[in-house]
Structure 1
Amino acid sequence: MYVRTVYVTGDPARIEAAVRALNSEGRSLLEERPEYRGACVFVDRELGKLLAVSWWGSEEARRNSDQVMRERRGPMLEPFAGTVAVENYEVAVFHSVQLPRVGGGLRITRVEFDPVDADLFAETFRSSAIPRLETLPGFARCAVFVDRERGRGMAGSLFVDRASMAASRAGQAAARRQDAAKAQVTVVGLEEFEVLHADVHPG
C-alpha cells in the first residue's frame, strides 16, 4: 500500500472546523477515488496540530488522487491551517492486533537513513519492535512508512487509550535507542496525537 500524509499546524482554537471538514467533505472526496483503502485523522488540540493520512492500493492510485485533493485541501482546512506539509510514502509494514478507538493515542517516530537502508529499517521494526509492542497493554496497530528516494520514514504505534500510550513511554524510549542503532537510522522527531479516526482496509 501507499499513503499520503497531510501535516497541518495552526490556531488551536480553530482546529475543530478543519476536523469537521476532513471527516465530511474530505472523506467523501476520498471514497470516490479508485483503490482508496481508508483514512486516519489525528490531532494535538493543545498545540494546534493535525495529521491526516489517506491509504491507497497502488502508487498510481495515490498519484491520481493528488490533483482533486490538492484543489480542495486549502478550502477544507481554512481557517485553521497556518502551515501545510504533504508527503508521500510506501507502506513497508502494517500490523494490526485490534481496532484503534476514538480518543486513543498515536506515537510517531520520524527517522532519516541512507536510502539503501530502507529495507533494513522496515525489517528491524518488523523483527524487533512488533514483538515488543504486542506485549504492551492497549496496543492496537503499528505501521512503517518509507520514502526510499529521500531516505526518510515514519514509524507509528496506535494505542486504544491515552493512558496505555503514556505508560509505554519509558520502555519504548530504551527500545527506540537500540532499534535506531540496529536499523542505522537517525531519529529526527517524536510526536504524540489523539486518535479521531483510523479506518484502514488493507485488502
Structure 2
Amino acid sequence: MYIRTTEVQGVPASIDDGLSLVREEIFPAVSAMDGCVGMSMLVDRQSGRCITTTAWSSEDAMQASAAAVRPLRDRAERALGSTSGRYVHQWEAAVVHRDHAAPDGACARLTWLHGDQRTVEDAIDMYRMVVLPQIQELDGFCSASLMVDRETGRVVSTAAFDTFAAVEASREASAALRDRVVGELGATIDNVEEMEIGFAHLHVPEMA
C-alpha cells in the first residue's frame, strides 16, 4: 500500500473552503482513479497548514495518477489561499491499525523523524512491538499508522483520537514513549504536530 502526501500552507480563514472542495469535488474525482483506496485531510485552523493524503493499492497506481491529480491539487491550493507552494512526498504504508472510525471532531498527532535506511527497518519493528501496543491503550484512541520512505530514511507516524481533549490528555505519555523510541533508534525528530482530522475516507486495510 502506498501513500502520497501533499503539505500546503494555507490561510486559516480558507480552511472550510478547502475542505468543502475536497469533499464535494476532489475526493469523488480521486476515488474514481484506478487503484485509489481513499483520501484524508488534516488541518491546523490556527496556522492554516494542511496535509492531504491519498492512498493507493500499488506504487504503479500511485505513479500513474500523478498527472491527473496535479490540476486537482492546484485547485485545492487556490481554495486554501496558499501562496507558498506545496510539498509532495510519496511513502510506503508499513503499519496500519484501526480501532474504530474517526468521529467528527477527531484529531491526530503526527511525529516526523529521520535516520538512515537501517533506522526505517528498526522503526517498523519497534512501532509494531512497542509503540502500537501502548498507544492503543490511551483513552480516545481511534487508529494509528506508520509511513516510511526507505530510500531517504524518513518516517512519519500518525495517532488519531476521538477528540482534541484526548490528544491533549495523551501528550505526556506520548512524549515519554517518543523519547524512548527515538533514543533506541538513534533517529532525529523533525517535528511533532497536532491537527484536526477535517476529512477522512481512507480504506487502507489492517497492516499491523
- Could you state the TM-score of these two structures normalised by the residue count of structure 2? 0.93
Matched to 2:147, the amino acid is F
- Cα deviation for residue 178 of structure 1 reads 0.1
Structure 2: 5+ residue runs without aligned partners?
none
Structure 2 distance, partners of 1:170, 1:154, is 19
Secondary structure (helix, strand or coil) at the match of 1:109 reads strand
The secondary structure found in structure 1 opposite 2:83 is strand
- Contact 1:124/1:182 (CA < 8 Å) preserved in 2? no
- Per-residue deviation, residues 31-80 of structure 1 (Å, max 9, x unmatched): 11111111111111111111111111101111111111112211232141
| Paired position in structure 1 for 2:52 | 52
Instruction: Map residues 140-155 of structure 1 onto 2, 5 A cutoff.
Output: 140-155=142-157
- Following superposition, the deviation at residue 15 of structure 1 comes to 2.1
Gaps of 5+ in 1: none
Whether the 8 Å contact between 1:11 and 1:82 is mirrored in structure 2 is no
User: Quick check: 2:136–2:143 contact (8 Å CA) kept in 1?
Assistant: no
Residue 177 of structure 1 pairs with residue 179 of structure 2 = yes
- Counterparts in 2 of 1:202 and 1:75: CA distance versus 1, 3 Å: closer
Equivalent pairs counted in the alignment come to 203
Match of 1:168 in 2: 170
Q: Secondary structure at the match of 1:149?
A: coil
Kindly report the root-mean-square deviation, in angstroms, between the aligned alpha carbons of the 2 structures. 1.2
Of 74-83 and 113-122, deviating more is 74-83
Amino acid of the structure 2 residue aligned with 1:4: R
Between the aligned partners of 1:77 and 1:117, the Cα distance in structure 2 is: 34
Runs of 4 or more above 2 Å deviation = none
3-state SS in 2 of match to 1:131: helix
Q: Structure 1 residue aligned with 2:113, among 92, 108, 111?
A: 111
Shift in Å, 1:114: 0.6
Query: What aligned pairs does 1:1-203 form with structure 2 within 5 A after superposition?
Result: 1-79=1-79, 80-83=81-84, 84-203=86-205
Deviations 1:109-153 (A, max 9, x none): 000011122111111111111110121010010000111111111
Corresponding letter in the other structure for 2:95: V
- Cα distance in 2 for residues equivalent to 1:34 and 1:24: 19
Q: Secondary structure at the match of 1:146?
A: strand
DSSP-derived class of the 1:132 partner: helix
CA–CA distance in structure 1, aligned partners of residues 28 and 201 of structure 2: 14
Matched residues, percent identical?
Answer: 28
Q: Tell me if the contact between 1:101 and 1:195 (Cα under 8 Å) persists in the aligned partners.
A: no
Query: Normalized against structure 1, the TM-score is what?
Result: 0.96
- Tell me the SS of whatever aligns to 1:166: helix
- Matches of 1:28 and 1:41, distance apart in 2: 14
